[in-house]
Each structure stands twice: as structure tokens, then as C-alpha cells.
Amino acid sequence: MSSRLELLNAGGFRVDGRKQHELRSISIKLGGSIEGCDGSAEVTQGLTVVSASVFGPREPRLGGQSHDRATINVEVSLSPWGSMERKRRNKGDRRLLEIASAIRSTFEPVVHTHLYPRSQIDIFVQVLQQDGGILPASINATTLALMDAGIPMQDFVTSLSCGIHSTSPLLDLNNVEESDLPNLTVAVLPRTAKVTLASLETRLHVERFEEIFRLAIDACQVLHQEMDLATRARTKLLVSAMGGKLSIDKDSDEEARVGGLLDDDEMEY
């Protein structure tokens, strides 16, 4: 069924006024949103707003934990006022469980869980407002929350959705586009360009897949720049609050260590 709206007009503009490859505006808030958590972040991409909070590493509450690494638990919830749908989604909703599973599988190979044996890391994601791109926004918020918690990771994880309208690739889909177009969600490690998630829930012609896949990876690098700037600003604030004199502008590796990206033996001077 085709949309009643013109997703891409003759001038190359989309429903919300963006060009084909133009991303939605992004706003990032690190820390302070959830009381008692070890790290938190709120990410706004267009009209989609997602917050993530991290608790741990901490002693597991239930059995079944791994003896040689931490277990990552993810729970996703949707605020009642956050969606245009009349259907109320509870914690056992199939779609929310699928998103939680995708987030967990995305971060399990990236987080240095071997540093925290017999422990667990709990990630709580709440969708405050939904206008498409819930999964990529949740992944971006989770990345920043883990960094705010000081949990070591291989790299940032940046994520974006993309789709095809006729033969035209579109980046960072909103809700209308996501509902009508074949779309793909990609999560990338920016430093190595390794892909840790590629989720395709609709049919897409193989000849178009590579085109939008490469475009999405390039766009994730743009998101990484914004996330990196937010992390730098947060690190400066924390160092200043502790009365430190660390100059993190001149040494990004030192900043990465403070944010939990690198261990001391991985530092380069």
C-alpha cells in the first residue's frame, strides 16, 4: 500500500523538508537524567527522543551469570505519550523485546565484558517520543550511557536507518518513511568501520542493498563526530569538577581513557 504523502517530491525534498542524504537534527545530553544510575544519556534525533541508563557492573541478582565475563541485560520501554499508536506496549511486547535483543547483540562484542567476571551490566532504554528510528536512536543513546558509566569499550557504536524510495536512497528515516519504504538499520564502529549490526526487516533488492549500506556507514561517521563532541564536553566538565588540569583537547587518547574507551596500557603518546 502506497503512502498518501509524497515521500520525495520533484525537487528532491522529503516530507519533513530534508534532502535525500540529509540527517535529522541531533541533540545529546549526557548524565544526570536518571537518579542512582552509573551512567545515562538522552538522544534526540528529529522528533524521536530516547534515554538510556546503565547500572553496573554489579553483582548479579539472579543465577546463570558467566564466570569469566559480565552479562549484559537490556530492557526497552515506550512511554504511553511517546507514540501516535493507540496500542499500549508493555514490557513484554514483542517489538520491544526484539529491540532489546538487537541492542544486546550489538554491544556484547564491543563492551569489554571480560574485565568484569561474575557480574552484570543492566541497560534500561526508554523511548520518550517516537517518530521513526527507535532502534538506531536507542543504540546511540546506549553507547553514550555506557561511556558515561565509564565502562570500557572497543569504540563508539553509531547507528542509522536508511531506505530506498523508487531508486533514490534516503538516510535517517522518519516514521512515515519507515512505515512505507524498504529499510535497513546499521550499527558501525567508526574507527575500524566494522559493522556490528545490520537489521533488514523488509525486502530489498540486492542491487540496492550495497548502495544504501555504504551510504549508511558513511553517515554513521557524521553521527560519530557529534557523539564525540558531546563526550569531550562531558569529560571536560567532569575533569573540571574534580579540580583537574588535564588538557584533553590535545590528546584524544587521554580523553578516551577517562571516558572508558582505552585502558592505561593502550595509551599512545
Q: Is the dihedral of CA 213, 76, 94, 3 positive or negative?
A: negative
Cα–Cα dist 113/151, whole Å: 9
Q: Is the pLDDT of residue 43 over 90?
A: yes
CATH topology of domain 26-266: Ribosomal Protein S5; domain 2 (3.30.230)
State the amino acid at position 204 in one-letter form: L
Q: Is the pLDDT of residue 162 over 70?
A: yes
pLDDT band at 240 (very low <50, low <70, confident <90, very high): confident
Which residue is associated with the grid cell 520501554? 77
pLDDT band at 64 (very low <50, low <70, confident <90, very high): low
Q: Under a CB-based contact definition with an 8 Å cutoff, are residues 137 and 24 in contact?
A: no
Average pLDDT of span 93-117: 94
What average pLDDT is seen over the chain? 84
> Comparing 221 with 165, which gets the higher pLDDT?
221
> Comparing 245 with 236, which gets the higher pLDDT?
236
Q: Under a CB-based contact definition with an 8 Å cutoff, are residues 216 and 171 in contact?
A: yes
Q: Per residue in 119-144, pLDDT tens? A: 999 999 999 999 999 999 999 999 99
Res 81: pLDDT? 73
User: Which residue from 178, 91, 164 is spatially nearest to 130, judged by alpha carbons?
Assistant: 178
Res 168: pLDDT? 86
For 49-62, letters b (16+ CB in 10 Å) and e give: bbbbbbbbbeebee
Res 254: pLDDT? 40
Percent of the chain topping pLDDT 90: 58
Res 88: pLDDT? 58
Cα–Cα dist 260/57, whole Å: 13
Q: What's the distance, Cα to Cα, between the start and end of the chain in Å?
A: 58
Range of weakest confidence among 20-24, 55-59, 124-128, 252-256: 252-256
Q: Is the pLDDT of residue 148 over 90?
A: yes
Average pLDDT of span 44-72: 88
Domain locations in the chain as residue ranges: 26-266
Res 260: pLDDT? 44
Burial bucket for residue 195 (CB in 10 Å: 0-12, 13-18, 19+): middle
Q: Is the pLDDT of residue 113 over 90?
A: yes
Range of weakest confidence among 65-69, 74-78, 155-159, 191-195: 65-69
Count the Cβ atoms, other than its own, within 10 Å of residue 190: 19
Percent of the chain topping pLDDT 70: 83
Average pLDDT of span 260-265: 42
Specify the length of the chain in residues: 269
Burial bucket for residue 79 (CB in 10 Å: 0-12, 13-18, 19+): middle
Q: Is the pLDDT of residue 242 over 90?
A: no
Average pLDDT of span 156-180: 92
Q: Per residue in 65-102, pLDDT tens? A: 677 899 999 999 998 876 655 555 566 689 999 999 99
